[in-house]
Chains A and B, each alone.
Chain A
Amino acid sequence: MTTSHSVVLVADPSPPRNRVVRRFLRHRLALFGVVTLLLLVLACVVGPWLLPYDQLSIDIRKRFAPPFTGLHFFGTDPLGRDLAARLLMAGRVSLMVGFSAMLVSVALGATVGLVAGYLRGWVGATLMRIVDAFLAFPSVFLVLVLAAFTEPSPLAITLIIAATSWMEIARIVEAETRSLRERDFVLAARLLGSSHLRIIGRELLPNAIGPIIVAATLTVAQAILLEAYISFLGYGIQPPLPSWGNMLNSAQQYLGSAPWLAIVPGIAIALAVTSFNFVGDGLRDALDARSEER
């Protein structure tokens, strides 16, 4: 530091926690999202034990039963398997893949964003150009190629989805870090002799956590959609392990005779993704100090 700075105390710009919670609770769609997600997760975790049918038990006599036939609430599939049981098992897989992919891509994206935003210079520029390069590929194309080139397993699919959805978070975190690093508390930390790693981990990351949480929520939605896309196209989760996407793949050919096979998993996907999007939107409004005056 060649120039001398007078240390100016700036009020903490992040709104107090209870105000954030209050604003979030006012967001009705976000509440709808939270409740739906809780119910969905609960159903997927507990549901398969409560249903009278196993998701893999085949009953050829009862194939293509329409919804509400006896205890088959959502009907049966071409092999007579209970659709509700399959839907809930598929939900476990799809939600798990979506959530895990989010964790990996947030870790990757936040790291790249923090490093690029903090160091700037040619390291930051190079990192951000790499982000741009990844963004140039339509993600469905890239995910499909990677999935086709590797042995498909839930873990591989998760990593592949994460590998193609970290860029947005990196961009957000980079922009946030760039502005944060000029702030007085970072300067203070540096004057105290904190190491780069400590400044990134203890000063920058906690202050950038708001945008990261918002982006993470929206990333889960995107990851669930992406899994659905590639599984629908036959390169994602492989049967007999069900996922919402591959249930739709097999439903396609029975569209005319058994439309519920396509409609039920589709609604599940739409419900889950919409909910995550609503929650992300609500979090953004709640964490954004500027939305106070509205």
Chain B
Amino acid sequence: MGKAVHSPAEGLRCKNWQTEGILRLLQNTIDPDVAEDPDHLVVYGTGKAARSKEAVAAIMQTLERLDEDETLLIQSGKPVAVFRTTEMAPRVIAVNSVVVPAYANWKQFRQLERKGLTMYGQSTASAWSYIGTQGILQGTYETFHAVARQHFQGTLAGKWVLTSGLGGMGSAQPTAIKMNQGICLIVEVDREKVARSIKYNICDVTTDHLEEAVRYVMDAKRTRTSLNVALVGNAADVYQELLRREIIPDVVTDQTSAHDLLNGYIPTEYTVEHANLIRKQVPDMYLRDAKMTVVQHVKAMLGFLKKGSIVFDYGNNIRQQAFESGLKEAFTISNFVPLYIRELQCEGLSPFRWIALSGHPADIYAIDQLLLKQLDNERVKQWIEYAQANIRFQGLPARVCWMNAKERIWLAERVNAMVAEKVLRAPVVFTRDHMDAGSMASPLRETEGMKDGSDVIGDWPILNTLLNTANGATMVSFHSGGGVGIGYSLHAGMSIVVDGSQRTAEKLPNLFLGDVGVSLVRYADAGYEIADKTAREAGLKRIQP
């Protein structure tokens, strides 16, 4: 068995790079440059990296002492025990936020949390593989790329997208649309968010006047120039008015905080300041107005759909809200996952990421260079070039890219060789988001509208976790809740430290084929022919009783 080429003498706190890699991942997720609220260990949203500061210290101490045939178990962000295993086994196994299904609701969960028995870990927060906003941007880019590919011959040039919401998630839209050469008219009611988008060069121009905004869009459309226009206004009002004037966008979507009508969504004729006052003082009145607005909002989106626009729900639950508020036909609009993402996932593509443990950007640039030179994939190339020029590294330098199993194995093996040859300054961690149906069971998003109706089946992420453990990922984790809340999803994470050793090289093919393979098998099992074809091409032995 080959040993890791980077010896502990090179500034390691742990006994080997496998545990050192995991330790650095944990440190990275709670770094102030990465985490939203490092003081409370909140990495993003409401997801925490560990139960408490004491738990963090204990995990770090344990990792520092962990031998290469030992495994640390973590129960919802708290280290519980070290077991003797084997050198091939994972070094860390974690399970987060899981409660028995009958009790899997927010009320019960919060009670347990208050007692200090569990914590909410979202997805990559408690899997210690969060890398900042790069992932959101890349996901949005892939979605609009898929829109362009399905409807507009691969480019959004000369097409305009009407959308709304310049919050944390929504801010990725203008950039992603621009990367696909399109024009974006984004509506946002909060003037401060609009000003921020201009200050941070997310949008190019802002206006309060619909006429002016439309003029900008039409000029850009005529000249086929990319342009991001931020219009200050209420999305529901603007959508209705555009429809009334018969100004029909090519693509319509929405990323307002419609999932939370009281704390996020703002009813028509409310200013942000007024909304803050009313939602506190008269929440029932606020909700009534918000519901009326959301119905009008979705009605307008349906109107655009009838007039020929491409319209989709972008995961903010706006259809469900409108449906609950009385708009029966709200679900005529489709969700972005079955429309655009599922096809990619059936081809084995999902968000893959790698993190340079050296902390030096040159390592990521070297891997970028390898991809640019040797991977014949225009989509990847376009993304890497854009990312190099525009995306700032938060914490440890990292790169996100959608890749299939074959590409993952190829890249990881090459990087392992680069680490061994000391072309890179230190080992690299390969990890992924929780997104494909093999690693995520989420009937409101990732597994919505499965062909065979298996939306709520929760077996697959567990199979994924177990298989990744068997294949020796450095860290495997199983979670509940994710971005949709307790009771609504089960998902799995995995990371491997590529340290340049022969042992790692031997693990890589099985590990990545297994991880992506579970997803392909799950889609194939649900009746997706492309997935079945991809699985067969990848050499997976699918059994159909």
Do A and B interact with each other, yes or no? no
Taking Cβ atoms with an 8 Å cutoff, the residues of A that contact B are none
Taking Cβ atoms with an 8 Å cutoff, the residues of B that contact A are none
